Each structure stands twice: as structure tokens, then as C-alpha cells.
Amino acid sequence: MSERIAVCPGSFDPITNGHIDIIRRGLGVFDKVVVAVGHNALKQDLFTTEEKVEMIKECVAPSNGRISVDVFEGLLVDYVKKIGACAILRGLRVVSDFEWEMQLSLMNRKLYGEVDTYFLMTDFRNLFVSSTIIKATVSAGGSVRGLVPDPVLYKLKEKFPFMNTD
Ligand code: ADP
């Protein structure tokens, strides 16, 4: 049987413990998970794509080759086709995520009928964690220890030297 590969797409600006949890749990369902960093034109990024990729690689290691990190541009479904993936993996937190995620998954299926989106419910510890709230907190000097992996904490400290890391 061929390998079941899922693409976990996102902006990852930066990757948080919420994302990591979804990616790792995805390995319980799929043989491989490809973390695909895309640029969301609706969001203004703090980190460059290179910085994001470097951080994600550090955060998902070691994975026995089951998690890889890549960059994609353009339509997600074109990327999914290109690498021979069978699924898109996304996380859900609150009801407000649901409406957008449903639209996205239906649009992706319209564009490419052979791909399905699989959702994993967030762990309760990451329910309130988003890249946006992480950035808002550190830019005001607060600590996000325990909400992002250590490599991300150090990288945030480079951008916001005054932030609390306790
Ligand atoms: P996007 O710009 O595509 O929304 P994000 O990097 O914000 O990208 O999120 C990528 C995916 O990870 C989305 O499915 C999002 O719902 C999910 N996600 C983000 N934060 C969490 C979290 N704390 N718990 C579970 N899933 C999450």
C-alpha cells in the first residue's frame, strides 16, 4: 500500500505548541506529515519564511523522517497534488475557527476532488494559543513560556529583547 501523506499547511508565524500537537498527533493517522509554510496575504508576518522553516525543523526533530518541512506558493491543492499527498491536516480550536475552516476545506475539495481535509481538535492546554496572541503578548513584554517550543522562545527574544522569559 502506498504511503499516506498529509500536508499540514499554515503561516506558522511562529509555530506554537498548538501546531506541534496537531502535527505529532497527525502521525497517528498518517505515515508522514509535511508541514507546509505558506504566505497568508491577509496577515503581516513577523518572521521570514527562512526563519519559520528553521524554527519548525528544530521543533519537530527528531521524527524518524516522518515529519518534513517545506514551503509552498500558490494554491495549496496544487502543492498537495505535486507531492502525492492524500489529505490536508488542520487543527480546530473554537467555534469561530470552524466557519473559516469549513469554507477552506470545501473550496479545496472543489478545486481538487481527491483531497479531504482532516481536523484534529486542539488539546485543552492549547485552546487559547494562536500565533497572533503569542506575538501580541511578547511585544508587550509578557512571557509565553510553555506555549511555544524553546527554539521559538529564543527567536522571539531576539526580536523582542525586553520580553519576559520566566
Ligand atoms: P493559517 O494562516 O492558515 O490560519 P496558522 O499557522 O494560523 O495558519 O494555523 C495553521 C493551522 O493550525 C490551522 O488549522 C489552525 O486552526 C491550527 N492551529 C493554530 N493554532 C492552534 C492551536 N492552538 N491548537 C490547534 N490547532 C491550531
Which atom, in ligand 1's list, is nearest to the CA of 127?
23
The residue assigned the cell 498529509 is: 6
Q: Are 6 and 87 in contact (CB under 8 A)?
A: yes
| pTM exceeding 0.85 | yes
1 pLDDT higher than 80: no
pLDDT in tens, 115-142: 999 999 999 999 999 999 999 999 999 9
Ligand 1 cavity residues, CB under 6 Å: 10-12, 16, 18-19, 22, 40, 90-91, 93, 97, 122, 126, 129-131
**Phi–psi pair at 130, nearest 5 degrees:** -140, 160
Residue 43: per-residue pLDDT: 79
The conformation of residue 17, written as its DSSP 8-state character, comes to H
pLDDT in tens, 146-161: 999 999 999 999 999 9
Which atom, in ligand 1's list, is nearest to the CA of 130?
20
Residue 26: per-residue pLDDT: 98
pLDDT in tens, 64-100: 999 999 999 999 999 999 999 999 999 999 888 999 9
Q: Per the structure block, which three cell numbers stand in for 94?
A: 473554537
For the annotated catalytic residues, the residue numbers are 19, 43, 93, 131
**Phi–psi pair at 86, nearest 5 degrees:** -110, -10
Which atom, in ligand 1's list, is nearest to the CA of 43?
2
The conformation of residue 123, written as its DSSP 8-state character, comes to P
Residue whose CB lies within 8 A of the most ligand 1 atoms, among 122, 125, 135, 148, for a mutation test = 122
Residue whose CB lies within 8 A of the most ligand 1 atoms, among 79, 90, 148, for a mutation test = 90
pLDDT in tens, 7-64: 999 999 999 999 999 999 999 999 999 999 998 777 789 999 999 999 999 999 999 9
